[in-house]
Structure 1
Amino acid sequence: MAPTGPAVVIERLVKRYPAPGGGVTAVAGIDLTIGDGEIFGLLGPNGAGKTTTIETLVGLRTPTEGTVRVLGFDPVRQRDEIRRSVAVQPQQAAVFEFQTVAELLRAWASFYPDAADPDEVIERMGLTRSRDVRVARLSGGQRQRLLVGAALISRPGLLVLDEPSTGMDPNAREELWEAIRAHRDTGGTVLLSTHSMEEAEELCDRVAILDRGRIVACGAPEELVREHAPEQEVLFTVAAGSDLTWLEEHAGVLETTTVERPGGGVRVRLRTLDPDRVLVDVLTGPLDARRIQTGEAGLEEVFRRVTGRSFARADVTENAEEGA
Structure 2
Amino acid sequence: MAEQGPSHDMAILLRNVTKHYPGPHGDVVALAGIDLSVRPGEIFGLLGPNGAGKTTTIETLVGLRRPTAGSVRVLGFDPVAQRDEIRKYVAIQPQHAAVFEQQTVAELLRVWASLYPDPEAPDVIIDRMGLSASRDVRVSKLSGGQRQRLLVGTALISRPRLLVLDEPSTGMDPNARQELWDAIRAHRGSGGTVLLSTHSMEEAEMLCDRVAVLHRGKVAACGTPQDLISTHAPEREVHFTVPAGTDITQLRATPGVSHVASDDSGDSTRVTVRTSDSDAAFGLIAGPLGARHIQIKEAGLEAVFRILTGVSFHQAGDGPEPPAEHDGAQPAQKKGVMA
Give the length in aligned residue pairs.
Answer: 317
Partner amino acid, structure 2, of 1:20 = P
Alpha-carbon spacing, 1:106–1:257, altered in 2? closer, same or farther (3 Å): farther
Q: How far 1:241 moved relative to its partner?
A: 5.3
How do 1:177-216 and structure 2 match up within 5 A? 177-216=181-220
The offset of 1:27, in angstroms, is 0.4
In the TM superposition, residue 234 of structure 1 has moved relative to its aligned partner by 2.1
Alpha-carbon displacement from aligned partner over 1:75-96 (angstroms, at most 9, x marks no partner): 1111112222111111121111
More helix, by proportion: 1
SS in 2 for 1:91: coil
Tell which has more relative contact order, 1 or 2 (C-alpha 8 A, sep 6+). 2
Q: Tell me how far apart the structure 2 counterparts of residues 259 and 41 of structure 1 sit (CA, whole Å).
A: 37
TM-score between both structures, scaled by the size of structure 1: 0.90
C-alpha spacing 1:164/1:285, structure 2 compared with 1 (3 Å)? farther
Question: Residues of 2 paired with 1:119 and 1:5: CA distance?
Answer: 33
Distance 2:319 2:243 in 1: 35
Matched-pair contact (CA < 8 Å) for 2:12–2:38: yes
Deviation at 1:279, TM superposition (A): 2.5
Aligned AA for 1:251?
T
Given candidates 134, 139, 143, the residue that maps to 1:139 is: 143
What runs of 5+ residues in structure 1 fail to find an aligned partner? none
Corresponding position: 1:274 with 2:270: no
Matched, 1:95 2:99: yes
Do the aligned partners of 1:254 and 1:272 also contact (CA within 8 Å) in 2? Answer: yes
Residue 293 (1) aligns with residue 281 (2): no
Which residue among 115, 121, 139 is the counterpart of 1:117?
121
Displacement of 1:250 after TM fit?
4.9
- Alignment counterpart, residue 258 of structure 2, candidates 254, 258, 264: 254
| CA contact 1:11–1:31 (8 Å) conserved in 2 | yes
**Alpha-carbon distance in structure 2 between the residues aligned to 1:156 and 1:257:** 51
1:313 maps to what in 2?
315
- Contact preservation (8 Å) 2:19, 2:67: yes
Query: Does the aligned pair in 1 maintain the 2:235–2:276 contact within 8 Å?
Result: yes
- Partner of 1:62 in structure 2? 66
Residues 145, 24 of structure 1: CA spacing in aligned structure 2 closer, same or farther, 3 A cutoff? same
After superposition, the C-alpha distances for 1:290-309 in whole angstroms (9 at most, x for unaligned) are 2x332431111111111111
Deviation at 1:151, TM superposition (A): 0.6
Match of residue 152 from structure 1: 156
Deviation of residue 226 (structure 1)?
A: 1.2
Q: Tell me, what secondary structure is at the counterpart of 2:26?
A: coil
Q: TM-score, normalised by structure 2?
A: 0.87
**Aligned residue in 2 for 1:51:** 55
Per-residue CA shift, 1:204-246, capped at 9, x if unaligned?
A: 111111111111101111111111111122234x379575734
The structural deviation recorded for 1:173 is: 0.8
How far apart, CA to CA, are the structure 1 residues paired with 2:174 and 2:243?
Answer: 32
Distance 2:196 2:33 in 1: 20
Let me know the Cα RMSD of the aligned residues. Answer: 2.5
Aligned to 2:83: 79
- Point out where structure 2 has 5 or more consecutive residues left out of the alignment: 324-339
Q: Per the alignment, in what secondary structure is the counterpart of residue 103 of structure 1? A: helix
Q: Deviations over 1:123-154 (max 9, x none)?
A: 11111111111111111111111111111000
Quote the Cα distance in structure 2 between the aligned partners of 1:265 and 1:312.
30
**Is 1:165 matched with 2:203?**
no
SS of residue matched to 1:279: helix
Q: Contact 1:108–1:150 at 8 Å: present in 2 too?
A: yes
Distance of 1:260 and 1:149 partners within structure 2:
52
* Percent of aligned pairs with the same amino acid: 61
Q: In structure 1, what is the equivalent of residue 287 of structure 2?
A: 284
* 3-state SS, counterpart of residue 176 of structure 1: helix
Structure 2: distance between partners of 1:57 and 1:259: 48
CA distance in 1, matches of 2:263, 2:177: 29
CA distance in 2: counterparts of 1:301 and 1:277, whole angstroms: 21
Aligned pair in 2 of structure 1 residues 258, 170: CA closer, same or farther (>3 Å)? farther
